[in-house]
Amino acid sequence: MHTVEMLGQAIDLARRAGYEVREEWLNGAGGGGCEFRGQKLLLLDLMLGPAEQLDQAIDALRHDPEAAQLPMPHQLRDLLQVRRSA
């Protein structure tokens, strides 16, 4: 799967895990996952390319136990290094 497709899958997973996904110009100064007033946010920096945005999304999702329980493509699961509980 190409990086852009994987990014789309990661964004979809984030939304299903309860994140509000925002794509904004952050001048390369950051982005990633956070919680603000009880709402999970995933900020993707539009100044970065798809591979870096994917890294931001993966980093946020990797630390979210709710995301690990959701169905996702095997390639995305491998990137997250998530093991499904039996």
| Residues 59-77 pLDDT 10s | 999 989 999 999 999 999 9
**Cα–Cα distances in Å, from 5 out to 10, 16, 39, 51?**
9, 17, 26, 11
| Residues 26-67 pLDDT 10s | 988 888 999 999 999 999 999 999 999 999 999 999 989 999
Spatial distance between the Cα atoms of 40 and 19, rounded to a whole number of angstroms: 5
What pLDDT was estimated at residue 30? 80
Nearest 5 degrees, angle CA 40-CA 43-CA 49?
Answer: 145
Extract the tokens encoding 78.
Answer: 């491998």
Predicted TM-score (pTM) of this structure: 0.88
What pLDDT was estimated at residue 82? 59
